[in-house]
Amino acid sequence: QNILKTSLIGNDVRYYSELESTNSTAREIAPSASEGTVVLAETQKNGRGRMGTEWQSVPGGLWLSLILKPSIPLENLSKVTLVAGIAVANTLRNMGVDAHIKWPNDVLVKGKKICGILTEVSAEIGKVDYVVLGIGINVNVKLPDLKDDIRRDSTSIANEIGKPIDRTSFLASLLYELEQQYIRFKTRQFAEIVDEWINLSDTIGRNVKVTTPIKLIEGKAVGITEKGALVVLDKNNKKHEIIAGNCRYSD
Ligand code: BTN
């Protein structure tokens, strides 16, 4: 039975009971796969998080990667990431879970992580070939199954609403939201997306410590640029535009 309400995303769904990482498999098949292909696994043996971290992928979660082929310059990649965060947060809010986005794209409920997004790209001469959008959502994950240090800062949908949910209909809603947001990304002004992201985010206005591959920036998060970068004002009122990094709240 096809319960998908989408016309692009999820036209081709590759389902596996176990993979090393859905992102790795998606990257392998991406050159020949059509846009919107979804790679899904019940568990991952080597789930990958941002900045080289491990992503614990136990049964009950939704571990998936989406192959997109937008014709955008590489510098616009972080916009796609923001769009994905909006789609996940909206899907959760539609079911009554009070989700917020922490820059760049962690989705949190009451300050605890419920979803992580890992965007990987293949690009030539600055133009995107394909994007693999890896999304990990702790849908029916049982928190005791998580390692101590991960469990402390994590939650799951089942934990928030008090019972497990139907993962297939959740997936259908998520793919629908992703498609709506992706269409909007391709057809509308990015400023519209920035506005929605700011409404869904709990990062703007907070004091943050952002680690980038080259430095640590401390200050107040004040906005998002047209390119999708986070704007941080440091104590000397110097403005930093950060395109990629890891953010911690310091208040
Ligand atoms: C993070 O918050 O660090 C990002 C986590 C991303 C996890 C997902 S699960 C599906 C996909 N496959 C992976 O190996 N990682 C992403």
- pLDDT tens track for 203-234: 999 999 999 988 999 999 999 998 889 999 99
Report if residue 6 sits inside a domain.
no
**198 contacts 237 by C-beta, under 8 angstroms:** no
Report if residue 8 sits inside a domain.
no
Query: Taking the model in full, what pTM does it have?
Result: 0.95
Q: Which sign does the torsion angle of CA 224, 225, 227, 230 carry? A: negative
Same domain assignment for residues 151 and 213: no
Q: In this model, does residue 168 exceed pLDDT 80?
A: yes
Query: What is residue 4's predicted lDDT score, i.e. its pLDDT?
Result: 87
- The CATH number that applies at residue 234 is 2.30.30.100
Q: How far is the CA of 149 from the centre of ligand 1 (A)?
A: 17
Mean local confidence (pLDDT), 194-205: 96
Backbone φ, ψ for residue 95 (5° rounding): -105, 15
Report if residue 4 sits inside a domain.
no
Q: In this model, does residue 247 exceed pLDDT 80?
A: yes
Q: Is 65 in the pocket of ligand 1 (CB under 6 A)?
A: yes
230: which strand partners? 224, 242
Report if residue 7 sits inside a domain.
no
Q: By CB neighbour count within 10 A (0-12 exposed, 13-18 middle, 19+ buried), where does 180 fall?
A: middle
Report if residue 1 sits inside a domain.
no
Confidence category of residue 75, pLDDT binned at 50, 70, 90: confident
Confidence category of residue 12, pLDDT binned at 50, 70, 90: very high
Q: Which ranges of 108-155 would DSSP assign to H, the alpha helix?
A: 148-151
Report if residue 2 sits inside a domain.
no
Cα 204 to Cα 219: distance, rounded to the nearest angstrom: 11
Ligand 1, atom 9: nearest CA belongs to which residue?
Answer: 136
Cα 145 to Cα 175: distance, rounded to the nearest angstrom: 27
Same domain assignment for residues 134 and 57: yes
Same domain assignment for residues 28 and 63: yes
Ligand 1, atom 7: nearest CA belongs to which residue?
Answer: 136
Same domain assignment for residues 189 and 212: no
Same domain assignment for residues 173 and 189: yes
Cα 120 to Cα 67: distance, rounded to the nearest angstrom: 10
Q: Which of 163, 184, 200 is the last residue of a domain?
A: 200
Q: How far is the CA of 191 from the centre of ligand 1 (A)?
A: 27
Same domain assignment for residues 148 and 65: yes
Q: Is 106 in the pocket of ligand 1 (CB under 6 A)?
A: yes
Confidence category of residue 33, pLDDT binned at 50, 70, 90: very high
Q: What is the pLDDT of residues 91-146, one digit of tens each?
A: 999 999 999 999 998 999 999 999 999 999 999 888 899 999 999 999 999 999 99
Same domain assignment for residues 56 and 169: yes
Query: What is residue 3's predicted lDDT score, i.e. its pLDDT?
Result: 83
Report if residue 170 sits inside a domain.
yes
Report the candidate in 89, 80, 87 with the shortest Cα–Cα distance to residue 114: 89
Range of the domain at 52: 13-200
- The CATH number that applies at residue 119 is 3.30.930.10
Report if residue 141 sits inside a domain.
yes
Ligand 1, atom 15: nearest CA belongs to which residue?
Answer: 48
Same domain assignment for residues 220 and 145: no
Cα 103 to Cα 39: distance, rounded to the nearest angstrom: 25
Cβ-proximal residues to 2 (8 Å cutoff; 6+ apart), any chain: none
Q: Is 50 in the pocket of ligand 1 (CB under 6 A)?
A: yes
Q: In this model, does residue 1 exceed pLDDT 70?
A: no
**37 contacts 66 by C-beta, under 8 angstroms:** yes
Query: What is residue 145's predicted lDDT score, i.e. its pLDDT?
Result: 96
Q: How far is the CA of 234 from the centre of ligand 1 (A)?
A: 30
Give the number of domains in the chain.
2
Q: In this model, does residue 242 exceed pLDDT 90?
A: yes
Take residue 208 and report the two structure tokens written for it: 């943050």
Pick the atom of ligand 1 nearest to 64's CA: 10
Mean local confidence (pLDDT), 171-195: 95
**DSSP SS3 for 65:** strand
Mean local confidence (pLDDT), 55-81: 94
Q: How far is the CA of 20 from the centre of ligand 1 (A)?
A: 11
What does pLDDT average to over the chain?
A: 95
Mutation to probe ligand 1, out of 20, 27, 51, 55 (largest number of atoms < 8 A from CB): 55
Same domain assignment for residues 60 and 41: yes
Same domain assignment for residues 122 and 44: yes
Same domain assignment for residues 218 and 192: no
Q: Is 85 in the pocket of ligand 1 (CB under 6 A)?
A: no
Return the percentage of the chain with pLDDT > 70, whole number. 99
Same domain assignment for residues 169 and 135: yes
